[in-house]
Chains A and B, each alone.
Chain A
Amino acid sequence: MQRRYRTITDLKINESARAISFDDSELACKLTSMGLLPGTRIEMIRKSPFGSAYYVKADGVRLALREEEAASILLEV
């Protein structure tokens, strides 16, 4: 199935992309208040040992995100 957007879960290690929008408003509220905004450059650092969580850098701030959280952040293609 072809998706129109990529999300953080699609990023490879060390790859980065800009966030465009969120597809879950509750998560959007939490993430924007932590400084992850549309336009923020997000770099994938690594995946968690048991999978399902991501270590990313958002404009230099290190964040740990869960699969669902990461998947709610849509990136520019």
Chain B
Amino acid sequence: MTDMSPTLKIALIGNPNSGKSTVFNQMTGLRQRTGNFPGVTVEVKEGLLKFPSGHEATLYDFPGTYSLYPTSSDEKVVASVLTNPADPYFPDALVYVADVTKLEKHLLLFTQLLDLNIPLLFALNMSDSATDLGIKVNASKLSESFGVPVVSISGRTGHNTMRLILDLEKMVNRPPVSGNRTPFYPLTESEKQVSEAIRQNLGIENPYRALLLAHHGPWLHFLKPTEKETVLAIVSTKNFQSLRAQVDETLERYDRFIPISQAAVVSPPAFPNTPTDRIDAVLTHRLGGPLIFFGVMMLIFQAIFDWSVYPMDWIENGFALVSEFLTVQMPEAWYTELLTDGILAGLGGILVFVPQIAILFLLITILEEVGYMARVVFMFDKTMRRFGMNGRSMVSLISGSACAVPAIMSSRTIGNWQERLITVMVTPFISCSARIPVYLVLIGLAVPAIKLGGVLNLQSLVFGAMYVLGVLAAFASGWAMKRWLHRREHSFLAIELPVYRIPHWRNVVLNVWEKVKAFIVGAGKIILIVSIALWGLSRFGPGNAMDQADQTAQTEAQQLSLDTVETEGLVQQRRLEASWAGQAGKFMEPAIRPLGYDWKIGIALLTSFAAREVFTGTLAVLYNMGGSEADINDRSENAAKATLRERMKSEKFGDTGKPVYTLATALSLLVFYALSMQCFSTLAVVRRETGSWKWAALQFTFMSVAAYLGAWAVYVLFS
């Protein structure tokens, strides 16, 4: 889209929860995509806006902010783009979206934008709610007072969307008014001096923009070093008190616009006890609130498991069929294997998680749209802060149980850098959907299916324990990082608790699609590459080792008089043992022996770097299963799994002759998988979000050490 993007740029700006994204979806439909503001990891949604005249524009959905004096990286983007006309995202015109039922609170940012002198259209959103509440707004009066076009719209019902688009086109086609209009907020004497000095030195026309540079000079990235020095020098010689001035300006603006809004809005007296108050009395109750939250979480996880079984089976079976078909139809050669065992296996490994991820994000998005997530942030802020995080981290941690990649990306709303960093660092400890197949096979192998006290299934109990282990590890490392980093920086909770609303289906669908896309594009690419690389490592070996393996296998097969299927399996097994991956497994055996693993498990540990569930598939090959990988990774009990377990049980250490798979080894492997950072995609996202490999490397190291030590402790304890 970028190459062909129309040159006319329009930005939607508004407070959080003003309904900006809803309006954006309404205006662009499905013609949208998500990008990143360059240099900062803040999302910008970009869509194609078609005017009825046939002209087009690019519409941007900026992050929600309360003012041009930002406190989080999300909000900083708005101030940074709007103060820099050279920015690629700098809009030609603005649409300001306000929640008309709270007009007064939404006028602050609006009047700041007025003073920037960018063509501005005022969209009074949520007109449907206003009607329901009996609120009447005189749009033409507002238009007259502020000197901008005003349209009353509803992002939910689509009311007046066309009118908004038409008025927008009319506005951008109007020739620009020359010269500065009278500012809404007249600068004070000291502000004027600073602004004037900056205007002269940096050649800026708009006085308010110059003032914003004085406020934000220390962190604005687009200023050249010399410009930054000039600004800082002006600020200090004029002894300009930035924070003080910000507060005073805000209060002065309120004093100026409150009479205007009072004259234009008629609202009936507010009800003292609205449905939202009654719902919150239950949902944020001191005791009931947390209990309900854990109940909701249990229901969500139950739903993920129950609903995803069928689509996951379809995907697995579908890939197995295609792979079989290609194996039969194509010549027997390395490129066929590359296609089926490398590329298709990789793709299958990516797509099989889509159902779970989609279902989880569907439910999380609904909770968010309804307004419940803000309550979760409120209830757990204190708890999370003990562990170096912030109430908002809850959303990331919960999402982490689907996939760490979109979960880490959702940490962007956390304003405090340290709290955000800790959230990013510990989220991968939460057991994600890729760990489930590994857990299931290992638990089936090692844990007897007995009921405790006639109700609790021991296997389910261990399964649950793996999740708890992940959560504990996340919190423990959060706690440790907080002690270690120990940075003092202002951290805010101050969050608005929106009224409860019925979710809007279009928002939900688009949001889920965006998250799934983030997984497929963000994680998928890397899984695919690693999966192809690992295919190469297990397909080829040093020197003529592979040919020798072939011959040994053939001789062995003849001696044992195996049938063709069994022979084929044996060949595969010997080849994998001789391959580069096999060599690596043998090489690392001494290192993993203390955990109770032999070199075959070592190979599986290596190959599961593509995606954790590859672990079971590799074992299937190593134990000469010949059966399809899909059967092994299938969540239901089946013959293939039973056979794999049989084979695993009879496996012995080469030197001591002791069985490899004891309860201790299986538990040790479980702990290893729960704690280890075996996912390149996550590391790549961590690097992007933190801006350096340093944190990704640190995360990899500490998670690996934790996994190793944990697995070792468990092995020693149980053997």
Which residues of A are at the interface with B, using a C-beta cutoff of 8 A?
Answer: 22, 25-35, 37-38, 45-53, 55, 60-66, 69
Tell whether, in the assembled complex, residue A33 and residue B378 are in contact, meaning their CB atoms are under 8 Å apart.
no
B67 interfacial by beta-carbon distance below 8 Å: yes
- Count contacts between A and B, CB distance < 8 Å: 113
Q: Closest A-chain residue to B67, C-beta based?
A: A33
Tell whether, in the assembled complex, residue B250 and residue A29 are in contact, meaning their CB atoms are under 8 Å apart.
yes
Task: Pick the residue among B108, B287, B496 that contacts A61 (CB under 8 A).
Answer: B496
Tell whether, in the assembled complex, residue A33 and residue B287 are in contact, meaning their CB atoms are under 8 Å apart.
no
How big is the B interface, by class? Answer: 35 or more
Closest chain B CB from A1 CB (angstroms)? 25
Tell whether, in the assembled complex, residue A62 and residue B276 are in contact, meaning their CB atoms are under 8 Å apart.
yes
Tell whether, in the assembled complex, residue A69 and residue B492 are in contact, meaning their CB atoms are under 8 Å apart.
yes
Which residues of B are at the interface with A, using a C-beta cutoff of 8 A?
Answer: 66-67, 69, 71, 102, 104-105, 108-109, 243-244, 246-247, 250-251, 254, 270, 276-277, 280, 284-287, 289-290, 374, 377-383, 391, 490, 492-499
14 contacts between A and B (CB under 8 A): A28-B247, A30-B494, A33-B109, A47-B286, A48-B381, A49-B284, A49-B289, A49-B379, A51-B382, A52-B381, A53-B382, A55-B280, A62-B497, A64-B497
Closest chain B CB from A8 CB (angstroms)? 12
Closest chain B CB from A48 CB (angstroms)? 6
In the complex, the 7 A-B pairs of residues with the closest C-beta atoms, listed nearest first:
A64-B378, A35-B105, A33-B67, A62-B497, A25-B243, A66-B493, A33-B66
Q: Given A29-B247, A60-B270, A61-B105, decide whether A49 and B493 contact each other with a Cβ distance below 8 A.
A: no
Task: Pick the residue among A32, A62, A69 that contacts B496 (CB under 8 A).
Answer: A62
Chain A interface main SS type:
mixed
Contacts of A45 in B (CB 8 A): 277, 280
Tell whether, in the assembled complex, residue A33 and residue B286 are in contact, meaning their CB atoms are under 8 Å apart.
no
Task: Pick the residue among A34, A51, A53, A66 that contacts B66 (CB under 8 A).
Answer: A34
Task: Pick the residue among A27, A37, A55 that contacts B497 (CB under 8 A).
Answer: A55
Tell whether, in the assembled complex, residue B71 and residue A49 are in contact, meaning their CB atoms are under 8 Å apart.
no
Cα distance A69–B391 in the bound complex, in angstroms: 15
Tell whether, in the assembled complex, residue A26 and residue B289 are in contact, meaning their CB atoms are under 8 Å apart.
no
Tell whether, in the assembled complex, residue B383 and residue A63 are in contact, meaning their CB atoms are under 8 Å apart.
no
Tell whether, in the assembled complex, residue A37 and residue B254 are in contact, meaning their CB atoms are under 8 Å apart.
yes
Contacts of B495 in A (CB 8 A): 63-64
Cα distance A50–B494 in the bound complex, in angstroms: 17
Tell whether, in the assembled complex, residue A34 and residue B251 are in contact, meaning their CB atoms are under 8 Å apart.
no
Contacts of A66 in B (CB 8 A): 381, 492-494
Contacts of A33 in B (CB 8 A): 66-67, 69, 108-109, 250
Contacts of A32 in B (CB 8 A): 247, 250-251, 254
Tell whether, in the assembled complex, residue A30 and residue B492 are in contact, meaning their CB atoms are under 8 Å apart.
yes
Contacts of B247 in A (CB 8 A): 22, 25, 28-29, 32
Tell whether, in the assembled complex, residue B493 and residue A65 are in contact, meaning their CB atoms are under 8 Å apart.
yes
New contact pairs (12) apart from A48-B284, A52-B381, A61-B105, CB-CB < 8 Å: A27-B494, A28-B243, A29-B69, A32-B251, A34-B494, A35-B102, A35-B108, A50-B383, A62-B498, A63-B494, A63-B495, A63-B496
Contacts of B383 in A (CB 8 A): 50
Closest chain B CB from A7 CB (angstroms)? 15
